Amino acid sequence: MSESRLLDYLDHIQQAATDACSFVEGLAKEDFLENKQTQQAVIMSLIIIGEAVTKVMDGYAEFAQAHAQVPWRNMRGMRNRIAHGYFDINLDVVWDTVQAALPELLKQLPAVRQDADNEARDKPC
Protein backbone atom coordinates (compact mmCIF):
# COMPACT_ATOMS: atom_id res chain seq x y z
CA MET A 1 0.00 0.00 0.00
CA SER A 2 1.07 3.54 -0.65
CA GLU A 3 2.63 5.42 2.25
CA SER A 4 0.81 8.53 1.04
CA ARG A 5 -2.48 6.78 1.86
CA LEU A 6 -1.22 6.25 5.40
CA LEU A 7 -0.56 9.98 5.64
CA ASP A 8 -4.08 10.65 4.33
CA TYR A 9 -5.62 8.38 6.97
CA LEU A 10 -3.62 10.03 9.73
CA ASP A 11 -4.71 13.44 8.43
CA HIS A 12 -8.35 12.30 8.47
CA ILE A 13 -7.94 11.17 12.08
CA GLN A 14 -6.37 14.46 13.09
CA GLN A 15 -8.97 16.56 11.29
CA ALA A 16 -11.93 14.62 12.71
CA ALA A 17 -10.49 14.75 16.25
CA THR A 18 -9.87 18.48 15.89
CA ASP A 19 -13.41 18.97 14.58
CA ALA A 20 -14.98 16.98 17.44
CA CYS A 21 -13.07 19.00 20.03
CA SER A 22 -14.07 22.27 18.36
CA PHE A 23 -17.74 21.25 18.32
CA VAL A 24 -17.81 21.07 22.12
CA GLU A 25 -15.47 23.94 22.85
CA GLY A 26 -16.99 26.14 25.53
CA LEU A 27 -19.90 23.75 26.18
CA ALA A 28 -20.78 22.29 29.53
CA LYS A 29 -21.67 18.61 29.57
CA GLU A 30 -25.32 19.49 30.23
CA ASP A 31 -25.37 21.68 27.10
CA PHE A 32 -23.87 18.85 25.06
CA LEU A 33 -26.46 16.39 26.38
CA GLU A 34 -29.25 18.76 25.32
CA ASN A 35 -27.87 19.59 21.86
CA LYS A 36 -28.64 16.85 19.36
CA GLN A 37 -26.90 18.67 16.52
CA THR A 38 -23.61 18.81 18.43
CA GLN A 39 -24.02 15.19 19.51
CA GLN A 40 -24.49 14.12 15.90
CA ALA A 41 -21.48 16.14 14.73
CA VAL A 42 -19.22 14.64 17.40
CA ILE A 43 -20.52 11.12 16.75
CA MET A 44 -19.86 11.50 13.01
CA SER A 45 -16.32 12.64 13.79
CA LEU A 46 -15.81 9.54 15.94
CA ILE A 47 -17.04 7.36 13.07
CA ILE A 48 -14.59 9.05 10.68
CA ILE A 49 -11.77 8.47 13.15
CA GLY A 50 -12.74 4.82 13.49
CA GLU A 51 -12.94 4.30 9.74
CA ALA A 52 -9.50 5.82 9.18
CA VAL A 53 -8.06 3.84 12.10
CA THR A 54 -9.43 0.63 10.58
CA LYS A 55 -7.64 1.47 7.32
CA VAL A 56 -4.39 2.05 9.23
CA MET A 57 -4.73 -1.17 11.22
CA ASP A 58 -5.65 -3.28 8.20
CA GLY A 59 -3.33 -1.76 5.62
CA TYR A 60 -0.40 -0.71 7.78
CA ALA A 61 -0.40 -3.21 10.63
CA GLU A 62 3.34 -2.92 11.25
CA PHE A 63 3.06 0.85 11.51
CA ALA A 64 0.15 0.57 13.95
CA GLN A 65 2.07 -1.96 16.05
CA ALA A 66 5.13 0.30 16.05
CA HIS A 67 2.93 3.04 17.51
CA ALA A 68 1.22 0.99 20.18
CA GLN A 69 0.83 4.07 22.40
CA VAL A 70 -2.00 5.14 20.08
CA PRO A 71 -5.26 3.45 21.14
CA TRP A 72 -6.02 2.08 17.68
CA ARG A 73 -8.23 -0.79 18.89
CA ASN A 74 -10.22 1.46 21.22
CA MET A 75 -10.94 3.91 18.42
CA ARG A 76 -11.99 1.16 16.04
CA GLY A 77 -14.10 -0.41 18.79
CA MET A 78 -15.89 2.86 19.49
CA ARG A 79 -16.71 3.26 15.80
CA ASN A 80 -18.11 -0.27 15.74
CA ARG A 81 -20.22 0.32 18.85
CA ILE A 82 -21.61 3.52 17.36
CA ALA A 83 -22.28 2.04 13.92
CA HIS A 84 -23.82 -1.21 15.14
CA GLY A 85 -25.57 -0.03 18.27
CA TYR A 86 -26.70 3.40 17.21
CA PHE A 87 -29.74 3.51 19.46
CA ASP A 88 -27.65 2.57 22.48
CA ILE A 89 -24.95 5.25 22.22
CA ASN A 90 -23.82 6.32 25.66
CA LEU A 91 -23.49 10.08 25.41
CA ASP A 92 -21.54 10.17 28.67
CA VAL A 93 -18.86 8.03 27.01
CA VAL A 94 -18.92 10.26 23.91
CA TRP A 95 -18.49 13.33 26.13
CA ASP A 96 -15.64 11.75 28.08
CA THR A 97 -13.97 10.72 24.83
CA VAL A 98 -14.07 14.20 23.34
CA GLN A 99 -12.94 15.77 26.61
CA ALA A 100 -10.05 13.43 27.47
CA ALA A 101 -9.18 10.84 24.81
CA LEU A 102 -9.25 13.09 21.75
CA PRO A 103 -7.06 15.85 23.22
CA GLU A 104 -4.55 13.16 24.21
CA LEU A 105 -4.71 11.68 20.71
CA LEU A 106 -4.10 15.11 19.21
CA LYS A 107 -0.95 15.40 21.31
CA GLN A 108 0.31 12.03 19.98
CA LEU A 109 -0.52 12.47 16.31
CA PRO A 110 2.19 14.94 15.24
CA ALA A 111 4.99 12.52 16.14
CA VAL A 112 3.10 9.57 14.62
CA ARG A 113 2.50 11.50 11.43
CA GLN A 114 6.15 12.56 11.32
CA ASP A 115 7.18 8.91 11.49
CA ALA A 116 4.82 8.10 8.63
CA ASP A 117 6.20 11.02 6.64
CA ASN A 118 9.77 9.83 7.28
CA GLU A 119 8.86 6.31 6.17
CA ALA A 120 7.30 7.67 2.98
CA ARG A 121 10.46 9.66 2.19
CA ASP A 122 12.76 6.72 2.94
CA LYS A 123 10.96 4.32 0.59
CA PRO A 124 12.18 4.06 -2.97
CA CYS A 125 9.76 5.22 -5.66
For the stretch 8-53, pLDDT in tens is: 999 999 999 999 999 999 999 999 999 999 999 999 999 999 999 9
- Has residue 80 been placed in a domain? yes
Domain of 15?
5-109
- Has residue 63 been placed in a domain? yes
Question: What domain count does the chain have?
Answer: 1
Residue 2 has pLDDT above 90, yes or no: no
CA dist., res. 41 & res. 59, Å (int): 27
pTM: 0.91
- Tens of pLDDT, residues 74-109: 999 999 999 888 678 999 999 999 999 999 999 999
- Has residue 64 been placed in a domain? yes
- Has residue 122 been placed in a domain? no
- Has residue 116 been placed in a domain? no
- Has residue 121 been placed in a domain? no
Choice among 79, 81, 113, 121 that is catalytic? 79
Reply yes or no on whether 84 is catalytic.
Answer: yes
Choice among 67, 76, 81, 84 that is catalytic? 84
The DSSP secondary structure of 52-86, one letter per residue, reads: HHHHHHHH-HHHHHHTTTS-HHHHHHHHHHHHH-G
